[in-house]
Amino acid sequence: MTSSRRAGRRPLSLVLLLAGTCGLLAQSAAVAKGPPVEYNRDIRPILSNNCFKCHGPDAKERQAGLRLDVREEALKPAESGRRAIVPGKLSSSNLVRRILSSRDPYRMPPPSSNKKLTAAQKELLQRWIEEGAEYQPHWSLIPPRRPALSKVADASWPRNGLDRFVLAGLESRGWKPSPEADRTTLIRRVTLDLTGLPPTPAEVNAFLADTCPDAYEHLVDRLLASPHHGERMALDWLDLARYADTHGFHLDSGRDMWRWRDWVIGAFNKNMPFDQFTIEQIAGDLLPGATLSQKVASGFNRNHMINFEGGAIPQEYHNAYVVDRVNTTTTVWLGATFACAQCHDHKYDPFTQKDYYRFYAFFYNLPENGLDGSKGNAAPFVKAPTLAQQQRLDTLAVAITQAEQRLKDPVVQKDAAEVKRVTEALAKLRQRRAEVDKQIPTTMVMQEMLQARETFLLLRGQYDKRGEKVTPAVPASLPPLPSGAPANRLGLAKWLVDRGNPLTARVAVNRFWQSFFGVGLVKTSEDFGSQGEPPSHPELLDWLAVEFVDSGWDVKHIVRLIMTSATYREASAVAPEVYARDPENRLLGRGGRIRLPAEYLRDQALAVSGLLEREVGGASVFPYQPPGLWRELTERGDSRNWSAQFYVQSHGRDLYRRGMYTFWKRTSPPPSLLTFDAPDRESCTVRRSRTNTPLQALVLMNDPTYVEASRKLAERLMKEAKTTDERIVLALRLTTARKPSAEELAVLRRVYEQQLAVYRKDHQAALKLLGVGESKRDEKLDAAELASWAVIANVVLNLDETVTTG
C-alpha cells in the first residue's frame, strides 16, 4: 500500500490501481509524500466530485464567477477580485483558505452540498498548488497510443502482451498471479464465457486428451466459430440497445424487432468489423445503395420505448425518443454521460447544452410520429423476410413469371383447357405468395426525411420551450467530423469509429473485458468522464484499444487475445485472505468466478438435460410463466384491441429455446430472468447487477423450467450410466464438468438412497413430480428411481459451482 517505494513512471498506474481497487484506501496512499501530484490521478477526482457542480463547465450554475475545471479560468480573479489559485503560492490562493476554514458558510464545499473534503484531499490540493497547479486534459479525451509493454520480473508467466500489464500491476504490490486453472475448469469457463452454454462431457474428454501444446487455443478457436458465440455476444448488445418485444409505455403492446436482433447475432458470428457494425447500426439506411440488411441494422436506434397513450402529447414523446437515441448512442460508443447536458451544460464534463442539441439534430430527422405503435411497429419500418421466406418468394416469383409467360404464348392461348389450368395454377401461386407475404415480419428502421426538420435547443430540456436554432454537429470538446464526412448520421457514424476518436475503441474493449472478467478495466463502463472511475490498468486499456483499431476493429481478435491470456486462465480458487485483499479482483490476481447471467443459467439447465433447442434466431417465444402475471397488470375491457396483452404460452420446442429468445414485455419482464438480474430493457443497460437472493433459490428449486430440466437430466443419468455412483459422476460432469470427490459422492449417494426409499413407498408422489413440464416422460424407466434421480439432478443444478463460471 505504500506508493512511496516506487519512483519514476510507475506510480501512476499503481495509485490508479489502488483507486480502482479500493476507493477508501486510495486517498491515504496518494497522500504519501513522494511522487509529484498529478492532476488526472490526484486532483481531478476531488475537484470534480466536490467543486465542479458550482465551479465547473455549467455556465448557468457557476457561482462567484469562479471556474475550476479550466486552468486559465481558475487562475483569474473571481468576482470577489481574489484568486482561487495562485500557482506556487499557498498563502495567496483563496481556494486554500476556503477549504481549510472552519467557519461554516465560508468553508468549501458548503454544508448544503453534503460534500466534505478529507484531510488527505485538502493536503493533496495544497501540494498540487504548491507544485504549480498544473492541469491535464481528462485521460479519456487524449487519443490512446500504443504503450510499450510493461517490464516484468517473471518473464515466463505472460502469454501475450496483455499479461505483461496485468503482471506488472501485481508485481508492483508484491503479489503473484494465481496458477493456471485445471483443464476441466478451463474448458467449462471458456465454453460458458464464449457461448453461454456448458461443454458436453465428450468435449471435456477431448480437451483433456488433447496433448497438443496449443490445445487450449484450438478450443478457443472452435468456440469462436460456434453459432452460439454470436448469441452470447449479442446478449450484452441487446442490453445496451434496450431491445424488447413491446413498446414499453402504458398498454405496452407488441412490436417486432427480432429481425434486428438476429442481425446482431449474425454480425457477431460473421465477425463483422466493429467499425462496420457501428456504421450500419447508426446509419445503415444512409449508406449508398443500402441493402435490406443494412436498413435492418439501423433499427438499433428504434429500440427505444414508444408511446400511444390516449391523450398524451405527441411532441413530448417525439422529444423523448430523440433524447433516448442521443443518450444511448453516447453511452454505448463514447462512455459519456451526455444525458446530463439535456437540461443544462454538463456539470463535470466538457459538454454544453448546445452540444447536446447539435447531437440531437442527427437523430431528429425521421419521418416518425410522436404517438404511434398501437398496431405493432411504428413508422418508419420495412418488411424484412427471413432467408426461408425470401427463398420461398423467389421460387414463387419464378413460377408466377413462367405461368404468366405461358398464358401469353399464342399456342397456349388456343388451348382453352390449358389456359384454364394455367390460370388456376397462377391464381393459386399468387395466393401462396400473398400468404407468404403476410407472414413476413417488419422491423423498425431509421430513415431520413428529404426536408430536414429544424432543430432547436430546448430550454431546461422541455419539449415545448424552444431556444436557439442549431445544426447537427459533434461535441466541440471532441475531434471534429472526419474531413469529407457529411454532417448527418452517416458522418456521425464514421466519426464514432474514426481513429482520432479517443473514446470508442476504449469503451468497446472495456466492455469486452467486463463481459469476461465481470468488471471492466474502467469499472464505470458507462462513464469514462470526470466522475467515472479511472482505469485500473490505463496502459492495458490503451494497448487493447489500439490493438483493436489496428486489427481493423476485429472483435474476435480482441476476444481471442483475452481468452488466450494467462490472466484469463488463472485459477479462481484462492485462500480467503488472498480473496479479501482484492474482493473485486481489480488487480486480476485470480481467475473470474462469476454467477452466470439469467439467460445462461436457464440455457445451461436446458442443455444438460437435453431439452435445449439450439436453433439460432427467429420470433420470440413464450416459455412457462405463472398464469395471470400480465393480466393483473394490464387487463381491461378492450385488451383484445392490442397485442401482447395476454400471455399465450408456447408448446413443443419453443418451450426450450435459449433464454434470450423469451418474449420481452417491458412492463412485466420474464420473472425468473428478472430475479437473476436481467434488466427491464426500458433504457440502455451497460452493467447488470449481480445479486445473490433467496428468490433466486426459489426459482432454481421450483420454477417448472428447472423441475422439468431436472427430470430430463435424471432420464439422461439413468440411460447413460449404470450404477448409482456412475450416475452421480455423470450428473456432476454434465453440470460442473468435473468429477465429484469421494465426500461429495457420499453425500449425494445418501440423499439418493433416502429419496428412493420415500418414492418406493409413495409411487403417486413420484408420478406427480415426473408430471411437471410438457415433455414426455420415458415410461420405460422406473418412476421411483427416476423421481429420485430428478431430486439429485435438482440438487446438482442448484450448486454454487453450477451457477458460477468457476
Q: Does 580 bind another protein (CB under 8 A)?
A: yes
Contact between 744 and 737 under an 8 Å Cβ cutoff? The reply is: no
Which residues in 283-302 contact another protein (CB under 8 A)? none
Smallest separation, CB 76 to another protein (Å)? 27
CA–CA dist 518, 594 (Å, integer): 7
CA–CA dist 403, 606 (Å, integer): 48
Nearer to another protein, 276 or 328 (CB): 328
CA–CA dist 363, 286 (Å, integer): 13
User: Which member of 236, 252, 262, 372 binds another protein (CB under 8 A)?
Assistant: 252
Nearer to another protein, 175 or 579 (CB): 579
CA–CA dist 610, 720 (Å, integer): 12
User: Which member of 767, 778, 781, 782 binds another protein (CB under 8 A)?
Assistant: 767
Nearer to another protein, 159 or 247 (CB): 247
Smallest separation, CB 572 to another protein (Å)? 6
Which residues in 634-673 contact another protein (CB under 8 A)? 634-638, 666-669, 671-672
Which residues in 587-616 contact another protein (CB under 8 A)? 593, 595
Q: Per-residue x/- marks for another protein, 346-385, CB under 8 A?
A: -xxx---------------------x--------------
Biggest distance spanned by C-alpha atoms of the chain: 110
Interface with another protein: number of residues (CB under 8 A): 112
Q: For 83, phi and psi rounded to 5 degrees? A: -100, 130
CA–CA dist 592, 572 (Å, integer): 6
Smallest separation, CB 531 to another protein (Å)? 3
Q: Does 754 bind another protein (CB under 8 A)?
A: yes
Q: Return the H-helix or E-strand segment holding 676.
A: none
Which residues in 29-68 contact another protein (CB under 8 A)? none
CA–CA dist 258, 61 (Å, integer): 44
Which residues in 726-745 contact another protein (CB under 8 A)? 741, 743-744
Q: Does 633 bind another protein (CB under 8 A)?
A: yes
User: Which member of 282, 505, 791, 805 binds another protein (CB under 8 A)?
Assistant: 791
Nearer to another protein, 24 or 155 (CB): 24
The interface region with another protein, picked from 394-402, 495-503, 629-637, 723-731 by CB under 8 A, is 629-637
Of 734, 46, 609, 85, residue with least CA distance to 348: 46
Phi-psi domain of 736 (left: phi exceeds 0; alpha: psi -120 through 50; beta: other): alpha
Of 617, 505, 510, residue with least CA distance to 273: 505
Smallest separation, CB 316 to another protein (Å)? 8
User: Which member of 251, 446, 587, 718 binds another protein (CB under 8 A)?
Assistant: 251
Q: Does 111 bind another protein (CB under 8 A)?
A: no
Smallest separation, CB 339 to another protein (Å)? 7
Smallest separation, CB 396 to another protein (Å)? 42
Contact between 771 and 786 under an 8 Å Cβ cutoff? The reply is: no
Q: Does 105 bind another protein (CB under 8 A)?
A: no
The stretches of 654-776 forming alpha helices (DSSP H) are: 671-675, 694-702, 704-720, 724-736, 742-761, 763-770
Phi-psi domain of 643 (left: phi exceeds 0; alpha: psi -120 through 50; beta: other): beta
User: Which member of 691, 720, 726, 761 binds another protein (CB under 8 A)?
Assistant: 691
Helices (runs of H) and strands (runs of E) counted in the chain: 36, 4
The interface region with another protein, picked from 143-151, 259-267, 276-284, 620-628 by CB under 8 A, is 620-628
User: Which member of 573, 619, 621, 721 binds another protein (CB under 8 A)?
Assistant: 573
Residues found in the chain: 806
User: Which member of 186, 699, 717, 718 binds another protein (CB under 8 A)?
Assistant: 699
Distance of CA 94 to the CA centre of its chain: 45
Nearer to another protein, 20 or 161 (CB): 20
The interface region with another protein, picked from 130-138, 443-451, 553-561, 694-702 by CB under 8 A, is 694-702
User: Which member of 696, 724, 775, 805 binds another protein (CB under 8 A)?
Assistant: 696
Which residues in 427-486 contact another protein (CB under 8 A)? none
Q: Does 339 bind another protein (CB under 8 A)?
A: yes
Q: Does 116 bind another protein (CB under 8 A)?
A: yes
User: Which member of 410, 414, 764, 779 binds another protein (CB under 8 A)?
Assistant: 764
- Tell me, letter by letter, the H, E, C secondary structure of 488-552: CHHHHHHHHCCCCCCCHHHHHHHHHHHHHHCCCCCCCCCCCCCCCCCCCCHHHHHHHHHHHHHCC
Nearer to another protein, 150 or 319 (CB): 319
595: β partners:
804
**Peptide bond just before 109 cis, omega within 30 deg:** yes
The interface region with another protein, picked from 226-234, 284-292, 651-659, 762-770 by CB under 8 A, is 762-770
Cα angle 592-594-600, degrees, rounded to a multiple of 5: 130
User: Which member of 575, 640, 651, 652 binds another protein (CB under 8 A)?
Assistant: 575
Reduced to 3 states (helix: H, G, I; strand: E, B; else coil), residue 382 is strand
Query: Where do the DSSP E strands lie in 331-465?
Result: 381-383, 442-444, 455-458
User: Which member of 256, 526, 554, 603 binds another protein (CB under 8 A)?
Assistant: 526
User: Which member of 8, 81, 213, 311 binds another protein (CB under 8 A)?
Assistant: 311
